[in-house]
Amino acid sequence: MQKPIFIGNWKMNKSGAEACQYLERFAPAVTAAKLSDQAEIVLAVPYTLIETMQRELTRHKATIALAAQNVHWLPSGAHTGEISAPMLKEFGVSHVLVGHSERRQFYGESDEGVFKRAEACLGAGLIPIICIGETGDEYKRGISREVVSLQIKNGISKLPKPQVIQAIIAYEPVWAIGTGLSATPEIAALMHSHIRSELNQVFGPTLGEQIRVIYGGSASRDNAQRLCNSPEIDGLLPGGASLDADHFLDLIKAGIKKQ
């Protein structure tokens, strides 16, 4: 039984000063409550904050990991504006968001691109957090499972078996991202069960059962406990709820607590 994981996605938010203020509140509280003994905690921050966050987390002696929000699949080259996995590794990043719905929706990232990014992360010793999920239109049409199955087939199934257990799959229904809407615990559990079944079919149950599947999509301190009560859900990927230190702390505590 692995510890649940909570990954706060800051998206395009916070200055260096704001990040330091956040950690002044967040890091000591995580340590005092011994939250890292009960869960893995990750902050996915803009590239500009990685060095500052690494320095401040070291100063606070906090067991909190850092994630980047995207990565290019090549280690180097003529790709202006991109960041490679080895570059992120050098700065102490351990996780990388791959294929977030906003990247797919607004920047045209494909399942093939998601696969190549995830493969690059694994090759560099980084943990890819691979995001999958259906749009609102697809949800209304009742094809959520088909969409997710195709994303797994095209973007995940080709990953090398020895390394794939390091990956994290984040189910984030696009209709719930930043909308305040959230899948009910029952809907989320059913989709997570479907994802697990697909992973077992692709990689075999020995590997498939070890890949963590977490939920993202307007997760908050108000629904964290109900979502995490499901044995199908291995953690949460909140966005806006992670921008406030106290809210994220409450969310983690609620997610750890079982009814």
Q: Where are the beta strands (DSSP E) in 53-93?
A: 65-68
CB 127, CB 113: distance < 8 Å: no
Catalytic residue of the set 138, 172, 198, 232: 172
Catalytic residue of the set 40, 56, 72, 100: 100
DSSP 3: P
DSSP 159: S
Based on the number of CB atoms within 10 Å of its own CB, is 258 exposed (0-12), middle (13-18) or buried (19 or more)?
exposed
Phi, psi of 221 (to 5 degrees): -65, -20
Based on the number of CB atoms within 10 Å of its own CB, is 251 exposed (0-12), middle (13-18) or buried (19 or more)?
buried
Q: How far apart are the first and last CA of the chain?
A: 17
Sequence-distant (≥ 6) Cβ neighbours of residue 76 within 8 angstroms: 84, 86
Helix or strand run (H / E) with residue 32:
helix 16-32
Q: Where are the beta strands (DSSP E) in 153-233?
A: 168-171, 212-216
Q: Token pair of 248, please? A: 């994220």
* 95 in catalytic set: no
Sign (positive or negative) of CA dihedral 98, 101, 102, 107? positive
- Active-site positions read 100, 172
